[in-house]
Amino acid sequence: MEEIPRDHPRYVSLMIRGRIVKGFEEGIVVPQGLLAHGRGEALDYILGEETHPPALEATRAAAALLLLSKHPVISVNGNTAALIPDEIVKLAKILNARIEVNLFHRSPDRVRKIKEFLQSKGAENVLGDSDLVEIPGLSSQRRFVSRGGIYSADTVLVPLEDGDRTEKLVALGKRVVAIDLNPFSRTSKVATISIVDNVVRAMPNLCRAAEELKNHTAAELEGIFRSFNNEENLRRMIELILRRLSRLSGLEELP
């Protein structure tokens, strides 16, 4: 990978871009994943490439919900495998959660590559390549899920998702935690908890929150989860974006 000067004003963003490109070269990320990443970058630019208080609150509520869950599953696609493999493995260990490779542009070869890549980072028992069943009513390739994984999960973490599946998972009675920089997306709107943040910041934060809340009682965790309102949280993120846009554009500050 080409060297990025440390003093470059966009050093972090370029390093992250490098991870996606490397993932693409290794057959983990699809070309469409590069486009999705660019969309994410544009939204993150508006957010100032930092985590905002509503996202941190959503992260804490998500940690509480995941700790309360009996059968949590972390769903992994090409982009998230390339961007945050260590955090996926770490969070799975903290939560005692399963990891499942679930792809929109599914091919047996990519599932295998992503599985092997996660195993090289210390993941155990990565699901997604056998004992598959179909999510009813879902036409995309994401419908193929593992019977012992997403299919029987009570809560599914979907970092960076494409919308169609979240609705179906919620309709099946599952709780969904989404990490998506787009607060207007269908995923963000229908998820139980949406963390509007970049996965590269949200996942380390989620690991920290889960570590911190791990020894809380179920009643305390319930309290944290129940006091969270996804619609209200998304509204605050959208207001924050509007304020930032008016400031960035030099227009009069919105009320």
Contact pattern from residue 191 through residue 210 relative to ligand PTJ, giving x for each residue in contact according to CB under 6 A and a dash for the rest: -------xx-----------
Site for ligand PTJ in 92-111 (CB under 6 A): 103-105
> Quick one: how far is CA 159 from the chain centroid?
1
Tokens linked to 193: 């908890």
**Any contact of residue 75 with ligand PTJ (CB under 6 A)?**
no
Q: Per CB under 6 A, which region of 73-81, 169-177, 206-214, 218-226 contacts ligand PTJ? A: 73-81
CB of 96 to ligand PTJ, least distance (A): 25
Residues contacting residue 109 through CB under 8 Å, at least 6 positions apart: 27
Pick the closer one to ligand PTJ by CB: 34 or 133. Answer: 34
Least Å from the CB of residue 222 to ligand PTJ: 28
Interacting span for ligand PTJ (CB under 6 A) from 5-13, 72-80, 87-95, 128-136 = 72-80
Q: How far is the CB of 250 from ligand PTJ (least distance, A)?
A: 26
The 19-38 site mask, x for binding ligand PTJ (CB under 6 A), equals -----------x-xx--xx-
Q: Which stretch binds ligand PTJ (CB under 6 A): 66-74, 176-184, 212-220, 235-243?
A: 176-184
Between residues 33 and 149, which has the closer beta carbon with respect to ligand PTJ? 33
Distance CA 43, CA 54 (A): 16
| Dist CA 205 CA 195 (whole Å) | 11
Residue by residue, DSSP assigns the chain as: -----TT-TTHHHHHHHHHHHHHHHTTSS-HHHHHHHHHHHHHHHHTTTS--HHHHHHHHHHHHHHHH-SSEEEEE-HHHHHH-HHHHHHHHHHHT-EEEE--SS--HHHHHHHHHHHHHTT--SEESSSSEEE-TT--SGGGEEETTTGGG-SEEEEES--SHHHHHHHHTT-EEEEE-S-TTSHHHHHSSEEE-S-HHHHHHHHHHHHHHHTTS-HHHHHHHHHT--HHHHHHHHHHHHHHHHHHHTTPPPP-
Number of residues that bind ligand PTJ (CB under 6 A): 23
Q: Which is nearer to ligand PTJ, 202 or 221 (CB)?
A: 202
Question: Closest residue (Cβ) to ligand PTJ?
Answer: 40
Of residues 95 and 114, the one with the C-beta less far from ligand PTJ: 114
Residues at the contact surface with ligand PTJ, assessed by CB under 6 A: 30, 32-33, 36-37, 39-40, 43, 77-79, 103-105, 160, 162, 179-182, 185, 198-199
